[in-house]
Amino acid sequence: MAFDILVCIDGHPKSHLLVEAGLNRARETGLSWCVLYIEQPLESVGSTSRREAMMRLLDRARDEGALIAHLEEPDSGKATLDYIRGCFAGGEPVGHIIVGQHSDTGLAGILDRPLAEKIARRYGRSAQVTIVPLEGHVVKPTLLERLRLGPITWMTFVAPVLAVFCAVMAAEALKASMPLILYKINNHNISLIFLLACVIVALRQGIVAALVASVLSSLVINYAYVIPIYRFNIGSLTDIINIAIFLIAAITVSVLGGHVRASAEGARGREQRSRALYDIARLTADADNVHQALEILDRELSRLFGMDIGFFLAVDAEGSSFEKYPAGLVLPDKDRTALEKCWAENRGTGYGTLFGFGTSWRFEPMTTADRHYGAFGVHVPLRFRLDPAFAKLMAGVADQVAATLERITLANEMSESRFREEREKLRSMLLSSVSHDLKTPLASIIGSLSVLHSLRMAERLTPEQARTLTETALEEAQRLDSFITNILSMTRIESGAVEFAIQAQDPEEPLGRVRKTMKTRLKGREVNVSNEANGRLVHMDSLMTGQVLQNVIDNAVKYSPDRTPIDIRLVAAEGFFEYRIRDHGPGIPDDKLDRVFDKYERLNKSDSQVAGTGLGLAIAKSVMQAQGGDIIVTNHPDGGAEFVLIFPLADGYATSGADTGGNP
């Protein structure tokens, strides 16, 4: 993003003067401004108050509308020049540059030109460069602060003892493996073994443990390897010099090893923080609801920060209440006030910010371009080394969490939108199907009843013609009832309003009931029933299974020639029961087999010559799956389609077979 005023600061205690100058310039001109903060690696250690002051300074600049460019570089001067060069090279030149000049440049200022003068010489013609004198110097952390002593535990003292013991064992092994004369000639190698032990302890446990190992090593060498043996005695100036040199060398390598270990831990921490943002997106990619995402984030971020964390989702737009996760979080009044201010002003509050005195939590707003979700909070323990890098990490994590919540919200909204579209699509298709396919039975019923109702026409009808008209009206009425029942059933099934009463049932009972109901529909057809179930009971809802059988048999009647039989087999084997219903029609094209149960397949073909809404098989599929069964369709080798209804068998047998209705 382009800006007109650039303020260049580092860890100098008077950096607030530069920010004040930039702010005043921005207010006078109304131009946009940016604060470039180059943080050197050692600035993150040392005085807590100094680090908090820098964080508050950056927060204030951000609140005043400044962009914040925060870089971590060992050479602040080179990084500043590179950043300015990048602005000009990218086609977004800066009109005004504000930079400070330290009053004590030291030897570096004598050997090399100060940074402020370099900027003035290189960019003085392209931009207005303001140099602000800064008294004092950047406070460097002390040696102990650089070493980051860390917590002292029992391993701080056990580890050096074990290391010195291992060094003694190695020295004794060396002594035993060499002739006495060679051992005495190479006696100085003993000191190197103990020195190596001190280095290992420094790298593994830190400076305190290394110093303990150094003292123990000097004592052991004096006692066991300096004449007189097995006595604490320094007999000559040479012994004093030898012990002093060893002790100085041991302490020196311990300090250096501790510094290397502290630097490695710092680099490892920065790497973990950088990787955390990627891990958040990766781990929450499969989360399909907010609760699941927050559970993952709570686990991973607690491990990353090593502190108690919390998510505070606003219940309403005013932020009068927040939904907390974890649910048991309790905030003191001061922290609660900081949380409300974070929500109201959409900026970081709490510990280490301009609005954070007396609080123990730090809050960052979870916002995206379109939504404001709440705040992400971290409970900062006492004496924690808070620095701008930590604030930058918290802001990055808060933005990433907000992006995750937005993704889940949008995914749920899209899913709901698709559901509404599908429901609207089904409604439109149903209306289209009803207006097209239901006209035929209605026209037949109306025509037959009109003839019978007309006295003049009724007198001319023979008894056979009157019976035919009556049967036509009855058959079409039953068909119309079947259409409407299917429409209502699909609506109830998709809304979840259907409750299934699954019990152990005799499979012949629903089949017999359906054949009686469809007696008129099956007139003129032979229905061949073969019961091979041997009286086994089946887990099913008898009424809903009857509707499935009616839909499948009605489908067989529709798609097979008149007078052709319908074969029904009842089969029980290997823990399952099957109804096998076969017609003798042309079968189903292979490319349609996997779509016959789709409720849209027939609705999309409302001009089909076969009347019906096409919902019968879709209802059959839904009902079978809800009962723990299934329905499949194949083409029979001898012709025609065969539907197979699969149910789980129950333990037991029917006491008597039900009437299957016989052949109509």
Mean pLDDT of 543-554: 87
Mean pLDDT of 626-641: 89
Higher-confidence residue of 144 and 366: namely 366
Give CA–CA dist 616/437, Å, rounded. 14
Q: What is the pLDDT of residue 256?
A: 73
Query: Which stretch of 32-36, 492-496, 562-566 has the lowest confidence by average pLDDT?
Result: 492-496
- DSSP letter assigned to residue 262: H
Q: Where are the beta strands (DSSP E) in 278-391?
A: 308-314, 322-325, 349-350, 361-367, 372-379
Please answer whether residues 110 and 224 qualify as being in contact, where contact means their C-beta atoms are separated by less than 8 angstroms: no
- Residue 207 CB-density burial (10 A; 0-12 exposed, 13-18 middle, 19+ buried): buried
Give yes or no for a cis peptide into 326 (omega within 30° of 0): yes
Mean pLDDT of 205-209: 75
Beta-bridge partner residues of 449 = none
Tokens matching residue 238: 């040479």
Question: Closest by alpha carbon to 225, among 170, 179, 177?
Answer: 170
CB under 8 Å, gap of 24 or more: what pairs does 342-351 form?
Answer: 342/375, 343/314, 343/319, 343/372, 343/374, 343/375, 344/319, 346/372, 347/59, 347/62, 347/63, 348/59, 348/391, 348/394, 348/395, 350/377, 351/380, 351/386
Residue-range domain boundaries for the chain:
5-141, 144-262, 287-414, 438-477, 499-653
Cα–chain-centroid distance for residue 60? 33
* DSSP SS3 for 14: coil
* Residue 350 pLDDT greater than 60, yes or no: yes
Higher-confidence residue of 150 and 173: namely 173
Q: What is the pLDDT of residue 285?
A: 72
- Residue 563 CB-density burial (10 A; 0-12 exposed, 13-18 middle, 19+ buried): exposed
Mean pLDDT of 49-59: 76
Backbone angles phi, psi at 101, to 5 degrees: -125, 120
Q: Mean of the per-residue pLDDT values for the chain?
A: 77
* DSSP SS3 for 98: strand
Band of the pLDDT at 613, cuts 50, 70, 90? very low
Higher-confidence residue of 303 and 545: namely 545
Q: What is the pLDDT of residue 269?
A: 63
Tokens matching residue 207: 């400076």
Q: What is the pLDDT of residue 604?
A: 46
Mean pLDDT of 335-362: 81
Q: Considering Cα of 352, then 353, then 358, then 362, what sign does the dihedral take? A: negative
Cα–chain-centroid distance for residue 143? 42
Taking the whole predicted model, whether its pTM rises above 0.75 is answered as no
The conformational region for residue 643 under phi > 0 = left, psi -120 to 50 = alpha, else beta, is beta
Please answer whether residues 18 and 44 qualify as being in contact, where contact means their C-beta atoms are separated by less than 8 angstroms: no
Torsion angle of C-alpha atoms 353, 354, 357, 361, degrees rounded to 10: -30
Q: What is the pLDDT of residue 125?
A: 85
* Most confident region among 116-130, 220-234, 432-446 by mean pLDDT: 116-130
4 Cβ partners below 8 Å, 6+ apart?
29, 31, 32, 33, 94, 95, 96
Band of the pLDDT at 34, cuts 50, 70, 90? very high
Give CA–CA dist 559/21, Å, rounded. 87
Please answer whether residues 97 and 50 qualify as being in contact, where contact means their C-beta atoms are separated by less than 8 angstroms: no
Fold held by 499-653: Heat Shock Protein 90 (3.30.565)
Band of the pLDDT at 605, cuts 50, 70, 90? very low
Backbone angles phi, psi at 399, to 5 degrees: -65, -40
Q: What is the pLDDT of residue 356?
A: 67
* DSSP SS3 for 95: coil
The radius of gyration of the chain's CA atoms, rounded to the nearest angstrom, is: 43
Higher-confidence residue of 422 and 440: namely 422
* Residue 118 pLDDT greater than 80, yes or no: yes
Domains 287-414 and 499-653 share a fold: no
List pLDDT tens digits, range 211-223.
788 888 888 877 7
List pLDDT tens digits, range 510-521.
999 888 888 877
Cα–chain-centroid distance for residue 383? 32
Give yes or no for a cis peptide into 510 (omega within 30° of 0): no
Other beta carbons within 10 Å of 397: 23
- DSSP letter assigned to residue 42: G
Query: For 5-141, which CATH superfamily applies?
Result: HUPs (3.40.50.620)
Band of the pLDDT at 529, cuts 50, 70, 90? very high
509 Cβ partners below 8 Å, 6+ apart?
542, 658
5 Cβ partners below 8 Å, 6+ apart?
22, 25, 26, 29, 31, 32, 33, 34, 94, 95, 96, 97, 98
- Residue 414 CB-density burial (10 A; 0-12 exposed, 13-18 middle, 19+ buried): exposed
- Residue 356 CB-density burial (10 A; 0-12 exposed, 13-18 middle, 19+ buried): buried
Tokens matching residue 165: 């013991």
Architecture of domain 287-414: 2-Layer Sandwich (3.30)
Give CA–CA dist 609/106, Å, rounded. 98
Q: What is the pLDDT of residue 295?
A: 84
Q: What is the pLDDT of residue 579?
A: 94
Residues constituting the chain: 664
Please answer whether residues 543 and 517 qualify as being in contact, where contact means their C-beta atoms are separated by less than 8 angstroms: no
Give CA–CA dist 512/506, Å, rounded. 11
608-to-275, 432, 484, 603 alpha-carbon distances in Å: 59, 13, 18, 9
How many angstroms separate the first and last alpha carbons of the chain? 83
* Residue 609 pLDDT greater than 60, yes or no: no
Mean pLDDT of 16-39: 90
Question: Closest by alpha carbon to 61, among 115, 3, 104?
Answer: 3
Residue type, 524: G
Q: What is the pLDDT of residue 131?
A: 87
Q: What is the pLDDT of residue 647?
A: 93
Q: What is the pLDDT of residue 8?
A: 92
Residue listed under structure tokens 């808060």? 398
* Most confident region among 93-107, 271-285, 630-644, 647-661 by mean pLDDT: 630-644
Band of the pLDDT at 354, cuts 50, 70, 90? low
- DSSP letter assigned to residue 142: P
Share of the chain above pLDDT 70, in %: 74
Tokens matching residue 231: 């006595």
Band of the pLDDT at 479, cuts 50, 70, 90? low
Query: Which stretch of 144-158, 274-288, 589-603, 625-639 has the lowest confidence by average pLDDT?
Result: 144-158
Share of the chain above pLDDT 90, in %: 9
